[in-house]
Chains A and B, each alone.
Chain A
Amino acid sequence: MAVLAPSAAGDRLFRSLCLAAVLAMMAVLGGLIGSLLWGGWPALAHFGPGFFTSSTWDPVAGQFGAAGPVAGTLLTAFLALLLALPVALGTAVFLAEICPQAIARWLAIAVELLAGIPSIVYGMWGLFVLAPWFARHVQVPLMAAATPGSWLERMVTGVPNGANICTASLILAVMVLPYIAAILRELLLSVPPAMREAAYGLGCTRSEVVLRIMLPYVRNSAIGAVMLGLGRALGETMAVTFIIGNSHNFPRSLFGAGSTISSTIANEFNEATGDMHVSALIALGLVLFAITFVTIAAARLLLGRDGGPK
C-alpha cells in the first residue's frame, strides 16, 4: 500500500525556496543602497560638504552643488502637505463620521481609486491645465499688484508661464490628497464603536467626538499616515518634472522655477555629460533615498501604534 509519507526533504526544499525569495528581496534593497553609494561616491568625495551647501549646478564647468534640488524637494513636499492635510483630514472625517454611509461608501471607493491613478496623469493635467490657468489668473495679477521691492514682490517674481515651485506643490498636494484621505478614513473607522457611542452618550457634539475622542485615539497612526504622504511627495517624479520649471538655483521665490532631486535625475540622467555629472546625479539619488527612508521608516513605526490612552 502506498503511503503518502511526509517527505522531509521536499518540505525543506520548499522552505528554502521561500526563504531564498525573501533573501533575494533583501539583496535588492542592499543592492539599491550599495549601488547608490558606489555610484555617488566620486561626486561626494570630490565636492565634500560643498555638495550640500553649494547651489552651483553647472555640468559644463563640472561644478555640482545640490542645495537647489534638495531645497526644492523639501520645499515642494512640505508645501504640498500643508495644502493637502487640512483637506484630506476634512474629507476623511466627513466620509467616516458625517456623511450618510450609503453615499460615503461610494465616495470612499472613488477616493481610493483616485489614489491609484498614475502620477503622470496628474503631471499632464498640471502642465496643460493648471500652469496656464495659474499664470493668467494668479501669477500675472499678483506680480502686477505687488509693489516693487516688497516682500510679496520677491515671493511672486518668476517667468509667468505657470511652471514654478508653487504649481508643482499644488499638483503634489492634489496627488497625495486621496492617498492620505483614504488611510485617515480607515483609521477613523477603526476606532471601537463603544468609544464613540460612550462619547455621544455623554452628550458630546460630533465635532467633540471627532476632535477629542476619535483623532486622539488614532493619533500615532494618523501622524504615520501623514508621513507616508510626505514620503510620497518627496519621492514623486512625474507629477513634478512636467511643471517645476527646471532651474537648479536655490529657490528664492514661490513663483520662480525650481527643481527637485527626482526631477533633476529624470531630466538629466540620460543626457549626462560626463562621469562626474552621472556621479553627482546618483549622489542626489542617495540623498533622496536617505530622506525618504527616514520619513517612511518613521511613518511605519508610528502606524499601528495606537489603542486607547496609555
Chain B
Amino acid sequence: MTRAEQIARQGRWLHARRKLANAVFLAGTALATAIALTALALIMQTLVVNGLAGMDLAVFTMSQPVQGMAGGLLNAIIGSLVMCAIGMVIALVIGILAGTWLAEYGDGTRLATVVRFLNDILISAPSILIGLFVYELLVAPFHGFSALAGAVALAILAVPVATRATEDILRLQPYALREAGMALGADRGLVIRAIIWRASRSGLMTGALLSFARISGETAPLIFTSLGNQFVSTRLTQPIAALPTTIFQFGMSGDDNWRRLAWAGALLIALAVLATNVLGRALMRRSNAK
C-alpha cells in the first residue's frame, strides 16, 4: 500500500467514525426528548382523566364532605382565592416599589448588587422554610393559625418574583423616555410613576401573572400557617382552607371520594397555573411586538 492510499484509508475511516458519532449523538438527543415528553404527557394524561372524572357541579357548590358523604371543594377554592388575593396585593406593592428602586434609583450601587443577588436566592428558597418563618412570626405569638398568616407566607414567596420582573421590565424602557419627561420639568419620581410605569403596564401585568402562577399551587408554606378549615370562611384571623392543602389532605387519605376530589382539585390548580402562564406570555409577546 502506498503512503497516499494509507492516508486516504485513514481519512475514510475517520470520516465514518465522525459520522457514526454524530448519528449516535442525534439519536441520543431525540431519545432524551422522547423520554421527557412521554413522562410529562403521562402525568398530564393521568391528571386530566382523573381530574375530569372527579369533576361535577358539587365541586364548586359544596364544601368539604364528611368521609362517605357527597361534597365539593368550595371552601378550599374560596380560601385559596382569599389568600392569593391578599398575598398578591402585598407582593405587588412591595415588589413593584423594590423593583423600581433597583432599576431606577439603586443602579450601580453596592446595595443594589447585594439586593439583586439575595433576591435571586429568595426566588429559589424552599417554600416550606417560608412557612416555618411565618409560623414563628404570625402563628405562634398569636396562638392560632390564620388566613392572614397564609396570605403573608404567599406574599413572601411572590415578592422576589414581582421584584425581579419589575426590574427587568423597567430596564427595557428607552432612556430617551426618561429624558423627555425630565425635560418637561417633571421630577424623577413623577417620570417613573406617570411615564415609565405607564409605558410598562403590560409588562408589569405579566410580572403579576407570573407571581400569581408561582404562589397559587404552593402547599408547603400553608400547612402550618393557614392550616385548613372544613367550612367556607373568609375571616382573616381564623384558619382557612386552601386548594393545595386540601388536595394534600384528601390525597393522603384512604377515602375514595376524598381522593376523587383531590384529583379534581389538582386539575383545577394545574389549569389555573397553565392559564395564568399562557396569558402572561401572550401579554409579554404583545408588549414586545409594540
- What is A's interface to B at a CB cutoff of 8 Å? 3-8, 10-11, 13-15, 17-22, 24-26, 28-29, 31-32, 35-36, 38-39, 86-91, 93-95, 98-99, 107, 109-111, 113-114, 116-125, 127-129, 174, 177-178, 181, 205-208, 210-211, 228, 231-232, 234-238, 241-242, 262, 265-266, 269-270, 281-282, 285, 288-289, 292-293, 296-297, 299-300
Contacts and interface: CB of A to CB of B under 8 A. Distances in A.
A118 B22 contact: no
A87 B251 contact: no
Nearest to B44: A114
Given A88-B36, A296-B125, A300-B120, A120 B219 contact: yes
B33 A94 contact: yes
Interface residues of B, number: 94
18 contacts: A4-B184, A11-B188, A11-B189, A22-B97, A25-B115, A35-B136, A110-B37, A110-B40, A116-B213, A118-B218, A120-B248, A125-B47, A206-B22, A207-B25, A241-B248, A270-B227, A285-B128, A297-B117
Contacts of A235: 124-129
A21 B94 contact: yes
Contacts of A285: 128-129, 132
Contacts of B33: 90-91, 94-95, 99, 107
Contact of B248 (A7, A8, A174, A238): A238
A149 B259 CA distance: 39
Given A31-B137, A174-B39, A262-B126, A205 B19 contact: yes
B137 A18 contact: no
B26 A207 contact: yes
Interface in B88-120: 93-95, 97-98, 100-102, 104-106, 111, 115, 117-120
B204 interface: no
Contact of A90 (B31, B127, B224): B31
Given A95-B33, A228-B124, A29 B217 contact: no
A174 B43 CA distance: 10
Given A113-B277, A289-B125, A292-B124, 10 more contacts: A6-B187, A14-B189, A25-B98, A25-B122, A90-B28, A91-B36, A99-B33, A107-B33, A118-B218, A228-B124
Contact of B118 (A26, A95, A98): A26
A10 to B, nearest CB: 6
Nearest to A295: B124
B46 interface: yes
B2 interface: no
Contacts of B184: 4
The 3 closest A-B pairs by CB, nearest first: A118-B217, A90-B32, A235-B126
Contact of A94 (B30, B122, B132, B262): B30
Contacts of A111: 36, 40
Contacts of B22: 205-208
Contacts of A205: 18-19, 21-22
Interface stretch (B3-11, B56-64, B266-274): B266-274
Interface stretch (B71-79, B156-164, B171-179, B230-238): B156-164
Contact of B136 (A38, A241, A296): A38
A174 B277 CA distance: 20
Given A94-B33, A118-B217, A177-B39, A36 B97 contact: no
Contacts of A210: 25
B180 interface: no
B220 A266 contact: yes
Given A91-B32, A118-B244, A121-B269, A237 B105 contact: no
Contacts of B19: 205
A114 B29 contact: no
B128 A22 contact: no
A123 to B, nearest CB: 7
Given A25-B98, A35-B133, A94-B29, A266 B126 contact: no
